[in-house]
Amino acid sequence: MRLFNLMIHNFSSDSVLKEPREPGAPKLYHVGTLTYTQPALAVLFFWLFWGDFCYTVMEAVTTPIMQLKYQKLDASNIEISLILGVIPGILYSILNPVISFQSDRFRSRWGRRIPFILFSLPFLVIILICLAFGEQIGVWLHGHLGFMLAGVSASQVAILTLGILNIVFTFFNTFVTSTFWYLFNDVVPEQLLARFMSWFRTIGLFSTSFYSFFILPYSASHSTEIFLAAAILYLVGFGLMCRNVKEGEYPAPAPYIEGRTDTLAAITTFARETHAFPHYWYLWICTFIGQIGNAASVIGAGNSQLIFALFFSLAIGLKLPQIAIIYGCYNITQSVLTLVAGWLADRYHPIRVVFAGVLINVLVIPMNLIWLFWHPSNNVVFWVALAINVGVAAPGQALGGMWDPPMLMRLFPRSNFGQFCSTNAVWRTAGGIVGSLLVGVFLDFMTGWVGKEHSYYYLPLWGFFFGLPSFYLFFKLYLSWKKHGGDDAYIAPVLISIANPTLVPFDDRHR
């Protein structure tokens, strides 16, 4: 705990708003109705970081194990895309705005975020246990319901069983992904929030590295044990975080706009306010196209949107233990550079840092096309892949990681921040859905031409095709940001809906 007290001191030494206090009185930090001393704030940070570690590890084990299970069961690329990308994406895009909206307006003795997390916790634990025995459940169902499944093999039933379990997992996990990140804004003092998020992201990357080094190599051989351990870790670890983090009291939620309460009015207002300016359209379409290309990304593992990254690594000749080392080094490098990127973002504005990261990421993609023409020994593949991931991709991802939330916090209006974040999530998810579906079709087409294993060599080509227009749209967003004031006078454009259908420009708080 002494380490956390030192961290709080370093965080706050140059950023806490000074307030009169008696000599010798403890320094106090406020957020809403919550008040912290330095030791209390250290305890809060400990539990939030611990919760992030448990949650990150739980999520990290799921996608690679499911990928390997589907590959073992000989599932097609389209089936994998549908189960791991398209259907979860559709669920998320529908549930996220609803859960986010309801959480903002929810009031209880336990707060407005933690109840949603606790509601989903037992269900996620049960689903993780079921996933541990998913293949056996599928085989059992085939054996006992064979008379209803004429012409369907045991492996197909297992694929369907795992798919249903994964969809149910996504349903309940969306309650966490839609509220966990909002909890920080409610319980962490504003003057410490930016650097807290930087450390939070770094610890999340270290958690992923822990998984890559110590768990990923056994994903194929010990998947049952890994799923069971993840279930226990999530139940105990995340449960303890929910028990020890306390939310404050919130004012009563504001009435619906224009005094109306019908669903159609809420949806119309939501869409109209977030799509009224070309300034935001650059971001929405950039995000959408970028996610289509990201569906074929070959950098990083454990991310639910990187469905085929692991298959690409195996196809170019890497072994699972080597992949674990590469991804572990990649995540550690990225986590350290994220702290540097956070400092650069504070000094030069996040949009410039992200611009540099997006440019590097576009340039990284052609590097992975070398495997189309060059097939060296396993040892050479390992060192070249390590150099690309750690030397080029990790810095690009660290800089680009300032996109969300640092850049969005500076681009979106404070008055409608949650609404704009949810809109961004919908566009991002829509791109992920389209990308997951199309890249599955693309790979199956290439399989018929060059074979299944060699088809993965063409994934970087897909990413480059969509990466260029995405980069162009981000450049247009940067120019629009300059037009709206840039460093010195940026005002986030937003509209206020009034009884008259005319939309009146509203100058949001200067950023």
Query: Does one domain contain both 277 and 206?
Result: no
Question: What is the pLDDT, as a whole number, of residue 260?
Answer: 59
Structure confidence by residue, pLDDT tens digits, 247-267: 888 777 655 655 655 666 667
Question: What is the pLDDT, as a whole number, of residue 164?
Answer: 92
Higher pLDDT, 331 or 268: 331
Residue 67: pLDDT over 60: yes
Higher pLDDT, 498 or 164: 164
- Tell me the two tokens of residue 72: 């073992």
Query: Does one domain contain both 59 and 135?
Result: yes
Query: Does one domain contain both 207 and 276?
Result: no
Tell me if 216 sits within 8 A of 320, measured CB to CB. Answer: yes
Residue 508: pLDDT over 50: no
Domain total for the chain? 2
Residue 493: pLDDT over 50: yes
Distance CA 167, CA 130 (A): 12
- Determine the straight-line distance between the first and last CA of the chain, rounded to whole angstroms: 35
- For residue 276, the enclosing domain spans 269-484
In a domain, 497, yes or no: no
On the CB side of 94, how many CA atoms lie within 13 Å of its CA?
9
Looking at residue 392, the DSSP 8-state letter turns out to be: I
Query: Does one domain contain both 229 and 366?
Result: no
Higher pLDDT, 505 or 386: 386
Q: What share of the chain is helix, strand, coil (3-state, %, to 5)?
A: 75, 5, 20
Least confident of 124-128, 285-289, 340-344: 340-344
Distance CA 207, CA 218 (A): 17
User: What interhelical angle do 2-12 and 190-214 show, nearest 10?
Assistant: 130
In a domain, 496, yes or no: no
| Cα dihedral 103, 108, 109, 115 sign | negative
Provide the pLDDT confidence category of residue 119 given band limits of 50, 70 and 90: very high
Query: Does one domain contain both 239 and 284?
Result: no
H-run or E-run covering 510: none
Pairing, β 493-497 against β 503-507? antiparallel
Tell me if 466 sits within 8 A of 350, measured CB to CB. Answer: no
In a domain, 96, yes or no: yes
Question: What is the pLDDT, as a whole number, of residue 378?
Answer: 92
Q: What's the rounded mean pLDDT across residues 229-249?
A: 92
Residue 17: pLDDT over 50: no
Q: What's the rounded mean pLDDT across residues 328-355?
A: 86
In a domain, 505, yes or no: no
Average of per-residue pLDDT values in the chain: 82
Question: What is the pLDDT, as a whole number, of residue 132?
Answer: 92
- List of E strands, 332-470: none
Structure confidence by residue, pLDDT tens digits, 132-185: 998 899 888 888 776 676 678 888 889 989 999 999 999 999 999 888 877 887
Number of other residues whose CB lies within 10 A of the CB of residue 393: 25
Question: What is the pLDDT, as a whole number, of residue 242?
Answer: 92
Query: Does one domain contain both 167 and 309?
Result: no
Least confident of 80-84, 402-406, 457-461: 402-406
In a domain, 506, yes or no: no
Query: Does one domain contain both 234 and 315?
Result: no
Look up the CATH number of the domain holding residue 413. 1.20.1250.20
Provide the pLDDT confidence category of residue 204 given band limits of 50, 70 and 90: confident
Look up the CATH number of the domain holding residue 111. 1.20.1250
Query: Does one domain contain both 205 and 350?
Result: no
Calculate the CA dihedral of residues 258, 262, 267, 269 and round it to 10 degrees: -10
Distance CA 126, CA 92 (A): 20
Question: What is the pLDDT, as a whole number, of residue 1?
Answer: 53
Q: In the chain, what percentage of residues exceed pLDDT 90?
A: 28
Query: Does one domain contain both 193 and 81?
Result: yes
Query: Does one domain contain both 134 and 12?
Result: yes
Provide the pLDDT confidence category of residue 505 given band limits of 50, 70 and 90: very low
CA 373 to chain centre: 33
Query: Does one domain contain both 123 and 29?
Result: yes
The top-scoring range by mean pLDDT among 120-129, 156-165, 295-304 is 120-129
CA 365 to chain centre: 21
Query: Does one domain contain both 62 and 138?
Result: yes
In a domain, 448, yes or no: yes
Question: What is the pLDDT, as a whole number, of residue 272?
Answer: 78
In a domain, 326, yes or no: yes
Question: What is the pLDDT, as a whole number, of residue 170?
Answer: 92
Provide the pLDDT confidence category of residue 14 given band limits of 50, 70 and 90: very low
Residue 437: pLDDT over 70: yes
Provide the pLDDT confidence category of residue 502 given band limits of 50, 70 and 90: very low
Question: What is the pLDDT, as a whole number, of residue 153?
Answer: 83
CA 367 to chain centre: 25
CA distances from 33 to 111, 114, 178, 213, 266 (A): 12, 17, 23, 42, 29
Question: What is the pLDDT, as a whole number, of residue 24?
Answer: 59
Whether omega for the bond prior to residue 406 falls within 30 degrees of 0, making it cis, is no
Query: Measured at the alpha carbon of residue 151, what is the angle toward residues 146 and 157, in degrees to the nearest 5?
Result: 60
In a domain, 254, yes or no: no
